[in-house]
């Protein structure tokens, strides 16, 4: 077996191809002429995959083109090398958010055959007092379900806005969405939909409701057919912290384009900041009896408060938040996490991209140290793995692909600070893994790669009667502890964690899609394509 990144490789990047057989391999060009012979090197046992892996290093092949890799028995696989090979992927990953839009309906001119009528546009009942109804329409459906959750939203917006902040040149292309052609880059148009919804989730006292969903997950129907009552569930301190952070970040980014919107974001952020100060105790979230939609429960809010303090300090140019930032930095045990449960790494991204230095040199030094230290251990893990993955066997849980991609972001950041190529190479290995370089030959992005998964646990995809899924959805990926009935049936006990996957739509603990599984990949494809887009900008 030859396992490749099925989308393709950038010419100058490291190209490590895992194979399952030792021996001499031939690399042939499109015309069939063999351009290289190479011996596979033993890379040892990959523990998470539970098998021995050999590696072919094709880094020296840099000439753009299509190449065939042939094993000693003449079985073969093709790879593409080109400077723009990831561009369409990057675009599709970003367009995904438009397909998740709620409360507006998708028009054929923007969604093609995936158009659908307006959904979830009725008032929602306040869980604590159903007599009261609220307008909380808009935003994105979280995932394969139709719920909308503040902490999940903030995580996705965090990835996207930091991708934009660092690599703006990669977001100039039109996404063909309703707002395209106005003065805003489309990534900001798209994020604004979510931010406008988030603003509606804030209470007058600055508290922020945790989520709005029906009581039970809908059947596998189109969103407009989900007619159950919507409920707005109680405030959690994670939601308030994340909201405070993300509105502060957004106010900074949108100010250049739309001062009125930036001011609304800033006011909302400061209101939530006050709430956080008045409510220092942790207010978690548990589903009430009878509710089975996403819980996004947590055991601490120190990381959310840390992120809020960092963004508050930057937004107010040091007038608010600095004292708390220093205290919370000491209190929060993690510093580099970028997932919905732990957002400490976004505080790091804030401080590390605070070019004006409002958050202070000392903080920047500390986070830089944390990111580099973490990146060293991720790069070491990635080198140890035959498939280049940075996860330890026990880290393949629900949504493992998010961890893989978030690790890629930490590695990119560490490369940007240190210039140490090993970090960049490891970051690209995470992309290769997601795009098919894994023992299942599975591309975990719909529509990208000959082995792309096709059956996401996504209600519209199952209900729309269209054969192909929408391109550009990232799967949650292998889960060493699968916990839905169909996954338990399909995955034999004892299966190696990296192989605990099935492309079956029923398997929500393996094969769902979410906004915060796409968003870290947008960050990575932005990083990967930045050179191409930068040159394009420079050459007019």
Residues tagged active-site: 145, 457, 503, 512
C-alpha 172/C-alpha 168 separation (Å) is 7
CB 330 within 8 A of CB 367: no
- Under the binding rule (CB under 6 A), the answer on residue 294 touching ligand 9MR is yes
**Binding test (CB under 6 A) with ligand 9MR, winner from 269, 443, 458, 514:** 514
CA distances to 182, 195, 258, 353 from 251, in Å: 19, 10, 9, 15
Min dist CB 397 to Zn ion, Å, is 28
170 CB neighbour count, 10 Å cutoff: 29
Pick one of ligand 9MR, Zn ion, none as the site partner of residue 294 (Cβ within 5 to 8 A by kind). Answer: ligand 9MR
Stretch near ligand 9MR under the rule CB under 6 A, chosen from 81-89, 262-270, 288-296, 306-314: 288-296
Rank residues 286 and 323 by Cβ distance to ligand 9MR and give the closer one. Answer: 286
Stretch near Zn ion under the rule CB under 5 A, chosen from 152-160, 218-226, 367-375, 456-464: 218-226
What is the C-alpha R_g of the chain? 23
Query: Which run of H or E residues covers position 17?
Result: strand 16-19
C-alpha 412/C-alpha 428 separation (Å) is 9
Min dist CB 509 to Zn ion, Å, is 23
- Under the binding rule (CB under 5 A), the answer on residue 102 touching Zn ion is yes
- Under the binding rule (CB under 6 A), the answer on residue 337 touching ligand 9MR is no
403 CB neighbour count, 10 Å cutoff: 21
In the structure, how many helices (H) and strands (E) does the chain have? 16, 12
Q: Which of residues 97-156 bind ligand 9MR (CB under 6 A)?
A: 142-143, 145, 147
Min dist CB 449 to ligand 9MR, Å, is 22
Min dist CB 300 to ligand 9MR, Å, is 16
What's the distance, Cα to Cα, between the start and end of the chain in Å? 44
Q: Which of residues 396-435 bind ligand 9MR (CB under 6 A)?
A: 398-399
Q: Which of residues 352-381 bind ligand 9MR (CB under 6 A)?
A: none
C-alpha 248/C-alpha 187 separation (Å) is 17
464 CB neighbour count, 10 Å cutoff: 16
C-alpha 160/C-alpha 155 separation (Å) is 9
**Binding test (CB under 5 A) with Zn ion, winner from 61, 119, 153, 474:** 119
Stretch near Zn ion under the rule CB under 5 A, chosen from 53-61, 119-127, 250-258, 426-434: 119-127
Rank residues 119 and 528 by Cβ distance to Zn ion and give the closer one. Answer: 119
Query: Which run of H or E residues covers position 66?
Result: strand 65-70
Rank residues 148 and 271 by Cβ distance to Zn ion and give the closer one. Answer: 148
The site for ligand 9MR (CB under 6 A) is made up of 142-143, 145, 147, 294-296, 398-399, 508, 512, 514
């Amino acid at each position: 077996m030859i396992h490749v990144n099925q989308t393709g490789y950038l010419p100058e990047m490291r190209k490590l191809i895992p194979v399952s057989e030792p021996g001499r391999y031939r690399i042939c060009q499109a015309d069939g002429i063999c351009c290289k012979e190479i011996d596979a090197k033993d890379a040892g046992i990959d523990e998470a995959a539970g098998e021995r892996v050999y590696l072919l290093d094709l880094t020296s092949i840099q000439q753009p083109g299509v190449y065939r890799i042939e094993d000693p028995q003449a079985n073969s696989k093709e790879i593409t090398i080109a400077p723009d090979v990831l561009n369409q992927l990057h675009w599709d990953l970003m367009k995904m958010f438009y397909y998740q839009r709620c409360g507006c309906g998708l028009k054929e001119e923007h969604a093609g055959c995936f158009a659908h009528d307006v959904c979830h546009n009725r008032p929602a009942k306040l869980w604590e007092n159903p007599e009261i109804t609220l307008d909380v329409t808009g935003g994105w459906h979280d995932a394969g379900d139709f719920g909308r959750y503040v902490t999940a939203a903030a995580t996705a917006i965090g990835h996207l806005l930091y991708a934009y902040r660092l690599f703006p040149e990669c977001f100039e292309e039109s996404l063909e969405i309703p707002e395209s052609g106005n003065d805003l880059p489309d990534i900001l148009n798209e994020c604004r939909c979510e931010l406008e919804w988030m603003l509606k989730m804030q209470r007058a006292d600055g508290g922020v409701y945790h989520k709005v969903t029906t009581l039970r997950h809908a059947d596998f129907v189109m969103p407009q057919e989900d007619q159950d009552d919507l409920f707005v569930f109680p405030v959690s301190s994670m939601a308030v912290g994340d909201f405070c952070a993300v509105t502060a970040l957004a106010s900074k980014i949108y100010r250049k384009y739309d001062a009125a919107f930036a001011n609304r974001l800033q006011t909302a952020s400061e209101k939530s900041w006050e709430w956080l100060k008045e409510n220092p105790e942790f207010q978690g979230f548990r589903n009430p009896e009878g509710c089975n939609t996403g819980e996004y429960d947590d055991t601490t809010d120190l990381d959310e408060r840390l992120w809020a303090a960092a963004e508050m300090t930057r937004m107010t140019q040091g007038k608010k938040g600095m004292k708390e930032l220093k205290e919370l930095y000491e209190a929060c045990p993690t510093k580099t996490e970028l997932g919905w449960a732990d957002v400490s790494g976004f505080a790091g991204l804030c401080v590390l991209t605070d070019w004006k230095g409002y958050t202070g040199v000392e903080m920047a030094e500390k986070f830089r140290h944390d990111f580099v230290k973490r990146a060293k251990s991720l790069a070491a893990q990635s080198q140890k793995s035959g498939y280049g993955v940075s996860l330890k066997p026990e880290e393949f849980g629900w949504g493992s692909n998010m961890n893989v991609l978030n690790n890629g972001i930490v590695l990119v950041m560490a490369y940007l600070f240190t210039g140490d190529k090993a970090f960049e190479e490891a970051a690209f290995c995470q992309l290769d893994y997601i795009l098919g370089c894994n023992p299942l030959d599975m591309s975990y992005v719909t529509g990208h790669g000959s082995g792309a998964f096709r059956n996401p646990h996504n209600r519209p995809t199952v209900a729309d009667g269209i054969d192909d899924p929408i391109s550009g959805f990232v799967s949650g990926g292998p889960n060493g502890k699968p916990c839905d009935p169909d996954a338990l049936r399909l995955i034999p006990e004892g299966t190696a964690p990296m192989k605990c996957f099935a492309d079956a739509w029923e398997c929500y603990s393996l094969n769902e899609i979410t906004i915060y599984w796409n968003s870290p990949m947008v960050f990575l494809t932005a990083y990967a394509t930045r050179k191409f887009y930068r040159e394009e900008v420079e050459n007019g």
